[in-house]
Amino acid sequence: MGDVVSSHLDESRREMITARTRDVMKEFSDVYEQQYAVALFNSVRFEIEGAGGTQSQLLHRKDPLAGRSIFSGSLFQYLEENRKWRNRFVSVPNSYTINLYESKMAHERGLHPKVTINSAGYKALTSMEEYMQLVNSSLPGIKAKVGSNPFIKCATQFPLILWHPYARHHYFCVMTEKEQKKWHAVLQDCVRHSNNGLPEDCTVQTPAFTDSVRLHRQAKGHYGTWDMMCGAPPQILANLAMETLHPELRSVIGPRLKGKMQQRQRNWMLISDAVYRQVLSQTRGQYEALVEACEAHRVQLDGRLRTDMDQIITSKEHVSSKIRALVLPKAEQLLRTSVQPYISSILEALMEPTSRGFSEVREIFFRELVEISKNSLNGGGKDKLGDHMERLSMLAFHPVKMQSSYEKVEQLNLEGLQQRFEVSSQSVFISRAQILMREQMDNSVYTFEQLLQQSLEAQGEDNMCKAIQRCQDRVLKKYDYDSSTVRKKFFREALLQIIIPYMLQHLSPSCSPELPRFKELIFEDFSQFLLVENMYEEVVLQSVSKDIMMAVKEAAVQRRHNLYRDSIILTNSDPNLHLLEDTPSVDWATKFGGDEPEGSVGSGDEGRWGKRRRQVVSMIQLDGVPLQYESCLEVPGVELIPEEEAEASECQEEDEGEKDEYPGSPGGPKSPDSVNEIRDLINPVVEMVLPVPEENQSDMTNGTEPTTGTEPTTGTITMEDGVREEVTHVTTVTEDVPRKSVRSKTSTQTIVQQLVGSRKQEAGTEHQEEAAIKNTIEEIDIAVQEDDSERIAEASAAESAHESSPPPPAVSHSGPRDDSDYLSPTAEGPDEGEPQPITNSLNGEDKIIDQVEVEVVLA
């Protein structure tokens, strides 16, 4: 593999890659320095003017994942060096990097991981077919046959693949579909978090960077959204360089690759990864130097802005009016003919899946609160409440529980509009909506925690259920308002991201040549903060903003998708809540559970002896799988974090179905735990109570006698379905024992109900079952006393079974009692294949007894 890379990436070609990357960074740096000053001007102006707006009603948590890890477990990794699959322990810390270790012990000892994956720009795939479609399109001129064999043979049928257009691909697999779904959700969350690498709280660097990338691509003729705008700034710049460098290298190196199709694809991926790593190392160093140089001049620029802010604003308004006079007529004409007819359809396409996703977030949050309320109503202790609250605190960062809401947004489809407005990818909008959904969930959880903590401190823990209900209602109302506000802002931004590039592209041929003459209207001292290109884009944005605002407002007035009108929320509108803004998160495990629960050991600087981290996502324990092949090993201490809600609901549905099928059993059918119970399931036992005179009870002893004899007679009974069964044993019990089978409680209850023809009882009503059993026993006693002689004569048919031997005494006991009226040794029975039916007359009707053994208990 090294020979392939070195042969195609020799020293001269590497120098060419370095020079091309340097050129891209030079062009970007020039734009960034200009946009940095503009972003600083906008930030200072916003700070001085204090532009108002809507205020969130939910509280925001500063560091929600402090002391946490996301997931850890074992899976199989494909090693390209030797083309083998090896078991690896994977840890996902709160930074969402994917760390691969040789073993779990290496992770616990704090050793460095063998591989660290930053998943920005990747796609998490679960199908080899989907992966091969992407691979087959990587090299032009290579036409792969449909269904062609991939160059990797997966060890199991549940693969997990991380695909990147430039970087190295990573191949994993697990043992079960359940694990595949959980790992896929975790990997998708890692990709989602890593793609969102630009911090929004950086009010200068982030706007300067995004505007610089956009203007740089527009200068190359690329308008609209960019699906590789993901990751930290160095990664985005590497993608920016590879956008032009990668096709050029592919056209030069691709035809020179030798071997079969799979081998050429494999070699090209290795070459592409080597190029990407070289470009990334270069962009990282140069970007850091660029930011450092701009930050060094920030204090000086800030002083000039605050001194001349009024004059700068006046100059900007003057120049903008001149540009508006040129651009606005053309923009309005384009707007009327090509944009306005489609605004409502674009908005509807965005609103439908996004609103369903936010509604699902609300439903997930509500279900978790219902579980906490149930625990309080059922008398759950403090430890149980602590477990529920501990689980609730990480709900927003549980990718498996949040997966249902994320999937709702993934149904976003802009296919028809995408072609008209040349939207390169809709994944940008999907990812942004999912990030907002996670933020709203965490804000709701944090607000509920603070309100509940405040309520418990004020009123105590006596009336826990009412306190939970009051806090729940308050938080859900605040969520409804905030989610409406967040969605409307998202819709406006998405519409602008779709429409503005389209208008700029169509206005550029006529407007761009006229823009340089407006630079003469700007004073030289202010030229650093006022750029004509930025003012031109602001004019285009203002021309379409009114229509976008009206479309969103109409949807809010109609209450479509639970959108509400915005209202100004004063800071003191909810004083009790805003007093908790800076309160740290509550440690529920310590508050109610005493000791802090252990989780997976933190990686990195914490090491083996560091503070143990609690894990957000629980493990999967496979039953019956050898340890060395177990895909997700159980991590000690994560018992407090159960499986996801979907799994619990599936188990609950199965339990309910079993209860419906077996209404006589409170908890449904149970698995047999002993050999005797298994035997009873095959040959159930009937318990019959016969009266014995008090003077003979002392002489009776417990015992079981086989029904063997010399004469060819057999004891048989007829079941309810007409099948006859042989009686093999008769057991006598003289102790005071409960009227239940000593072996199988569940089997006896069901059989007794069949004997008396009782109606099926409701599942879980134990009191009714005990009353039915008691009544049954009394009826059996009465029936036996009324027709004692007839029952004894029929029961004596159990003397002979499969064997022929002299008839022994029917019951083994001592005393002068005459057994002639109990079991008749001369009772004739039919042939072995024709058993005689036994009936009982309870409630005045004959009923054929089920297929059982007869166990006679003498009371």
DSSP annotation of 738 reads -
Q: Distance of CA 568 to CAs 50, 554, 627, Å?
A: 14, 19, 59
More confident residue, 566 or 817: 566
Contact call for residues 71 and 617 (beta carbons, < 8 A) = yes
| Rounded average pLDDT over 239-251 | 92
Q: Under 8 Å CB-to-CB from 770, ≥6 apart: which residues?
A: none
The pLDDT tens digits of the residues spanning 187-234 come to 999 999 999 989 888 889 999 999 999 999 999 989 888 989 999 999
Q: Which amino acid is at 519?
A: K
| Rounded average pLDDT over 813-842 | 44
Contact call for residues 150 and 132 (beta carbons, < 8 A) = yes
Q: Where are the domains of the chain?
A: 1-47+200-230+232-296, 69-195, 338-586, 675-858
Which residue in the block uniquely carries the two structure tokens 């907002």? 436
pLDDT at 759 over 90: no
Confidence band for 98, pLDDT divided at 50, 70 and 90: very high
- DSSP of 405-448, one letter per residue? HHHHHTT---HHHHHHTT---SHHHHHHHHHHHHHHHHHHHHHH
Residue 664, token pair as written in the block: 């006589």
Torsion of CA 730, 734, 740, 744, to 10 degrees: -60
- The reported pLDDT for the residue numbered 730 is 56
pLDDT at 145 over 80: no
Torsion of CA 149, 152, 153, 157, to 10 degrees: -100
Mean pLDDT over the full length of the chain: 75
More confident residue, 847 or 25: 25
Which residue in the block uniquely carries the two structure tokens 């020979």? 3
Contact call for residues 596 and 590 (beta carbons, < 8 A) = yes
Q: Under 8 Å CB-to-CB from 11, ≥6 apart: which residues?
A: none
- The reported pLDDT for the residue numbered 820 is 40
Work out the burial of residue 282: count CB atoms within 10 Å of its CB; fewer than 13 is exposed, 13-18 middle, 19 or more buried: buried
Confidence band for 389, pLDDT divided at 50, 70 and 90: confident
Alpha helices in 297-339 (DSSP H): 298-334
Confidence band for 55, pLDDT divided at 50, 70 and 90: confident
> Which of 392-406, 524-538, 575-589, 662-676 is the least confident region?
662-676
> Which of 188-202, 577-591, 683-697 is the least confident region?
683-697
**Bridge pairing between strands 614-615 and 170-174:** unpaired
Alpha carbon distance 2, 5 (integer Å): 5
Alpha carbon distance 123, 140 (integer Å): 21
DSSP annotation of 710 reads B
Q: Distance of CA 514 to CAs 214, 218, 440, 507, Å?
A: 21, 17, 45, 11
Alpha carbon distance 709, 802 (integer Å): 10
The pLDDT tens digits of the residues spanning 500-518 come to 999 999 999 999 999 999 9
| Rounded average pLDDT over 767-773 | 58
| Rounded average pLDDT over 80-105 | 92
Q: Under 8 Å CB-to-CB from 528, ≥6 apart: which residues?
A: 34, 37, 301
User: Highest-confidence range of 1-15, 46-60, 278-292, 336-350, by mean pLDDT?
Assistant: 278-292
Q: Distance of CA 511 to CAs 219, 335, 338, 632, Å?
A: 14, 15, 18, 60
Alpha carbon distance 774, 470 (integer Å): 46
Contact call for residues 256 and 13 (beta carbons, < 8 A) = no
- The reported pLDDT for the residue numbered 383 is 66
**Helices 399-409 and 177-195 meet at what angle, rounded to 10?**
70
Q: If phi over 0 gives left and psi between -120 and 50 gives alpha, with beta otherwise, what is residue 677?
A: alpha
- The reported pLDDT for the residue numbered 425 is 79
Collapsing DSSP to helix, strand or coil, 112 comes out as coil
Contact call for residues 506 and 587 (beta carbons, < 8 A) = no
- The reported pLDDT for the residue numbered 380 is 63
pLDDT at 767 over 60: no
- The reported pLDDT for the residue numbered 53 is 61
Compute the radius of gyration of the chain from its Cα atoms: 39
- Sign of the C-alpha dihedral, residues 420, 424, 425, 426? negative
Collapsing DSSP to helix, strand or coil, 572 comes out as helix
Confidence band for 713, pLDDT divided at 50, 70 and 90: very low
| Rounded average pLDDT over 287-312 | 93
- The reported pLDDT for the residue numbered 634 is 33
Residue 80, token pair as written in the block: 């390209």
User: Highest-confidence range of 60-64, 299-303, 778-782, by mean pLDDT?
Assistant: 299-303
Give the other-Cβ count within 10 Å of 843's Cβ. 10
Residue 103, token pair as written in the block: 């073993």
> Which of 326-335, 482-491, 575-584 is the least confident region?
575-584
Number of H helices, E strands in the chain: 24, 16
| Rounded average pLDDT over 414-439 | 86
| Rounded average pLDDT over 358-367 | 95
Nearest to 619 by CA among 68, 70, 64, 66: 70
- Sign of the C-alpha dihedral, residues 396, 397, 398, 402? positive
Confidence band for 453, pLDDT divided at 50, 70 and 90: confident
Q: Which amino acid is at 650?
A: E
pLDDT over 70 for what percent of the chain? 63
Q: Under 8 Å CB-to-CB from 591, ≥6 apart: which residues?
A: 386
Question: HSE of 209 in the Cβ direction (CA atoms, 13 Å)?
Answer: 23
More confident residue, 491 or 738: 491
φ, ψ of residue 437 to 5 degrees: the values are -65, -40
Give the other-Cβ count within 10 Å of 86's Cβ. 12
Q: Distance of CA 354 to CAs 432, 474, 563, 709, Å?
A: 10, 23, 12, 81
Single pTM value for the model: 0.70
Give the other-Cβ count within 10 Å of 759's Cβ. 10
Q: If phi over 0 gives left and psi between -120 and 50 gives alpha, with beta otherwise, what is residue 603?
A: beta
Q: Under 8 Å CB-to-CB from 608, ≥6 apart: which residues?
A: 108, 109, 110, 601
More confident residue, 641 or 429: 429
Fold classification of 69-195 is PH-domain like (2.30.29)
DSSP annotation of 77 reads E
> Which of 370-384, 473-487, 534-548 is the least confident region?
370-384
The pLDDT tens digits of the residues spanning 772-787 come to 566 666 665 665 455 5
pLDDT over 90 for what percent of the chain? 42
- The reported pLDDT for the residue numbered 711 is 42
Q: Under 8 Å CB-to-CB from 690, ≥6 apart: which residues?
A: 784, 788, 791, 792, 856, 857, 858, 859
Which residue in the block uniquely carries the two structure tokens 């002068």? 816
